[in-house]
Amino acid sequence: MADARRSVLITGASSGIGLATAHRLIDQDWRVLASARRVEAMEPLRSRGAEVFHLDLVDPSSREALVHTISQRVGALDGLVNNAGYGDVGPVETMELDRARAMFEVNVFGLVGLTQLLLPAMRERRRGCIVNISSIAGRFVTPGAGWYGASKHAVEAISDGLRLELHQFGVHVVLVEPGLIRTGFEGVSAEAMQREGLQPVWGSMMRRVAAGWAEGFRKGSEPEVVARTITAALEASDPKPRYRCGSESEAVLVQRFMPTRVWDSLVRSRMLG
Q: Enumerate the active-site residues.
A: 148
**H/E segment holding residue 231:** helix 223-235
The CA distance from 122 to 125, in Å, is 5
Asked if residues 136 and 177 have their Cβ atoms less than 8 Å apart, the reply is: yes
Angle between helices 16-27 and 223-235 (to 10 degrees): 50
138 touches 178 (CB < 8 A): no
The CA-based diameter of the chain, rounded to the nearest angstrom, is: 65
Gap between the Cα atoms of 51 and 97, Å rounded: 36
- Which residues make Cβ contacts (< 8 Å) with residue 213, sequence separation at least 6? 186, 189, 193
**Using only C-alpha atoms, what is the Rg of the chain?**
19
Distance of CA 113 to the CA centre of its chain: 15
For the sheet with 51-54, list strands across it: 51-54, 31-36, 7-11, 79-82, 128-133, 171-178, 242-245
